[in-house]
Structure 1
């Protein structure tokens, strides 16, 4: 055995390491267990003892490669046997599947299956059932999307039902069974089930007994729906509806019937056999139904304690009778109102001044009013006998009340043509007694003719007078100095006077042809060619809205200036008037030019002040600088007199510099170049800075300054430097106009959106005629003032406050003092956004 193991080891080294190791291990195990090594190999490879011995000997003699080849051959033989067995099983299963498929598709049907987690279905069966043009068995060539698009082979309503049923099956596993009709008229049955984790839809053709049953079911459902619809309609109808059996017993009634009979419910009305109609009316209805005739009558019925009119309809039907009562109270009331209206029209026609006579289709008088009788002075008895048209005309001719006619018969025949005419006809009759009658013959739609006679004698006389007035008007217009033209609502010239033609160099003969405004404008363009003005005139003449008087001024090429006025007239026409104001315009132009010259001179004065201010600032700055340099001890000692003079120079130059700075600030504001350096302004600090600047003047004049501001008044958004400058100027103005040993008050108040500064003095006050000028440049009144300044302080105050978006108000009473109020907005950003 040890030799055998050595031989296996040698074989393993020569190339069969895996198998030799297995054999060696088997032999070693067998030796250790005192069992032959061949048994171990037999257990491992399913060999017999002789095979193991032989293999062992062969491995020892021929080597491991031969053994491996034998093992491989045996494995292939076993695999071939297994494969043959599996092929047999597959063939058997295929036969079973074919048999089941043949049984499944023995009838025409289509199967659509969705595997679990798969959104793409598999379609099997006869697709031509759904899509006729598809070949049988060609389900693989028809896209699933076309089958699942139910609208392509079903009408919209069944397709929608199918969509909803399939969605419910795929989402919730809900089964369904539908009987549907395809677009080609086929009856099909669609069944959906969830089986074994799959969703299956089965669609098959209904034929034979199943088809008849489906059709019968469909008809039953349709009839049931129709019956339920009719029952619902009858139950919801607002009219009483009922049915009775042959014996007259109430069989059905709706809610309106129950309400009409004052019963508690429909069942109560049926159980108690309540009647809707009165006994006489029920008897008439019963007689009509017994004669197999329909009953229709308009009868009074008391409903809810109110008597109303109903149109009752009843008929005999199979098994009894049916009836309905429709509320005709409104129609009855309208009919009565129509009768009353006709009577009212008759009474109205009797009150007309026009004579009205209505003849029916038989040419007989059907209606006449009293004006007709008085117009022809006819006997009422004769008219009430309904004479024909010819008899009336013959009587009027005999009384010489008709126009004289050479052929009366022919004239009367022409008049009677109105009975066959379509449109009304108008004429004027001149009677022998001097009257003129306007006659309108109108054919009636139901036949006959209506004659309308109006005495127009007075109207014709008024027309003659109107013509006389028109002639007077024309003569008046022709002698006016102003040019006048009247254009109708159609834009054509209806009236003009000679000054109009002369003013625009137009031909009177051409204007007599009533040209359109467009033509007149073209004729006038050589003298005045301003398109917007002519467009305005055309709009005023031809427009139908905003008809108002429009004044215009025309400066023509020849140097003349015209005032034009468009005046809308009551009849829709428009009158144009032109007045030559050349001389007046020249005078006005001269005055305007003079005023402009004065304004220019004033502007030149302001510009000169601006320029001089800029020119003075440079040398003044130099003087101030040298004055400070001289006052510096480093430049050497000064005598007492020199120091006094130098102090005067410094004070005067500082005052002059302040004036120049004020002028420059006003100039900058006036030029629109001033910008604000906005930031948070502490109100208390601003007041302290302003009061500090006037302490010397307060001490000199023994004036007391009272500050009234809350300690926690806070801050607001503004230019701090300009706010201090505003407060300083207000205080300086108050000090300048206050007497010695007086008091001035500075108060500050804060509201939700503003900060208000108020400075009050007890000076002489400002007269009303001067109050509006105190804010102008270089305006300084000396009423009670101890000094006269440049008059720029309040101008700066108003400019700076308004630049912040605020307001300045002055209140003053002569002899009692002045109060100046400045209002600043709290947030300049909000102010600017509002302005934008």
Structure 2
């Protein structure tokens, strides 16, 4: 602003000076029209236009007056001379112009100072808000990576503790495979791809190579993808470690189960309650189950109840059970050598077939055991008392029902004693007269018919007790558990009420129709969406009436009519249908017709208006972004082409001027021609670099892969860089072993990589020094390293050394556009390689590129 004011003052002074220095001849020229044209050309339009007009008018009026006087012959000795008139006019015009200019400048200066003060205040407020937000987001235990939509670079906020092993550099942080466990890195990369591509959120717990636990959360908001890395500590870290340890133990158990599945002996595992938790294939074959899971789900026992109870009673943690037990396998009685080990959370057992050793057992004993096992397998509790009213037999269901100990039952208690025991344990109903109730229950021993009674136990169970007397004394007691039946009835009644309340409070519209096409129920949301009343949708209303009531809300001929056809068709299999209604009110409803049992059909209607509008907005925004990206690519290509053509002409004509046939140039002309040639070449290089980067960003760069001899490649690069080395008085030292072989790469791009690195090193290398190009290889990669002894790169600039237009001109002979290293990184990445920089202030810089030897050709470049 101050420069502009100074320029305006100079222009005003120039006008005044011209006006004061003009003589009579100038006034005559002004009379002829030339002075006015010269004065308008000298004065800037924005400042001196009023002054110039005033000055020109004054001069012209004076000249015109003098001319008129001369023609009339009235000029006398006492009149003003023409010179005095002109000088007076000039002085007055100059003073008026200067006064107007000064007033205008003072006013403009005041306005500009006020605007500058407002802008400084707004800038200060914005910087304070940015600092506050960055302080709120940044956290030493948390790092956030933000991706804009499309193929933009990510933004990083915050840092993770160094003990986690997470890189502090932004470009290294996204290389998850280097600092995360391989399984965690693969899982995280898949989750990020789904987040950016499909907006699918995720929550993960990952493990670093240093055995640290990280919690990673992925979300999408405002068209941006956010991935937050949180370093866990204290209880949360312990919980995550326990989760990972649980997964490891689960994997170990799975391997152990796979091993046991391969052996031919039945193996089983039980939980703390004695229920089957896992069996192998030999076990499932023994119990005639198709798969082991079927045997577990159906609780198919391999051993009999008595055998299992014996194992449970005998086996302890210090003394495993080991005995021979017979059981039925595929219809054949088989004897097994059973080993059962008890632990705190269950037991595990294995059975070895020893039937051949037990083939001499008596058939009668087997028959008796089979009879006992048959009763023992009954789900209904059974107890048999002999003629002395002592317990002779009981099954496992009886033990589970009453919870009596095996030693007590094996002591063969009396029936009366058993009832007293159950009453003492609080297992029998509380009766006002216990003696009368017990006598009534034991009267079965003198009864002729079966006696049935209902017991309501204190624990909430309901039993139907069936007692049958034996012809020769004794009785059989059967306890049928009715608890589930009563519970089911209660649950059914409750479910009907809950179902009604739930459907009434759903946000989705629900309507259920019977096979006759009449509605059985509907909720308020259904009536609100379609604008119908409760009377119009009361139970028993035919779908035709509802179709008529809903018809004014939409304009689709096959809407509710299609529903009616679905309800009344005679197909064996009724298929579900889905679709969308767009109502006159602007609502967009997704509907679904689902067949229900008993030939009923449920129709659901969901208001998707907001989602549909959001989807349309996102599609429109996506199309706009795609068009903007295409416009950018077209613009870069067009501008690059339009710049390249005139630059090529400039370079060609410059080289032509250097030829002797065009005539000799003096020393200064030759120097200017050299400057033009050098600047044009640099500008052409920048244009080519910009075009290459635009091609990479657009994903359309193609690499022409071929087998290249590394030795020949180094020689070609050395020849192409020779002029630049000579110009900067720097020597090149190539360090490479003989017979480096070949590399599968793009020759042009690989040369461009090496030339960019050597030119960068030459620019920063001291005069008279040497730069080195070191090349070596291993089994799968070729390495190129360029070293200079320049001033090095400061640590704060290492983070942005590969960024575009981030040139470090400090210490260099030439300042560039800052695209060289960015192009190097892009081309190396296209070859599936990587670039690293090692630099220290005052000690030089080493840039190393790794190119895979057998890389497959990538047809099109990606981001």
Bucket of the pairwise TM-score, normalised by the shorter protein:
0.3 to 0.5
Structure number, greater radius of gyration: 1
> Which structure exhibits the higher relative contact order, with contacts defined as CA atoms closer than 8 Å and separated by 6 or more residues?
2
- TM-score w.r.t. the length of structure 1 is 0.39
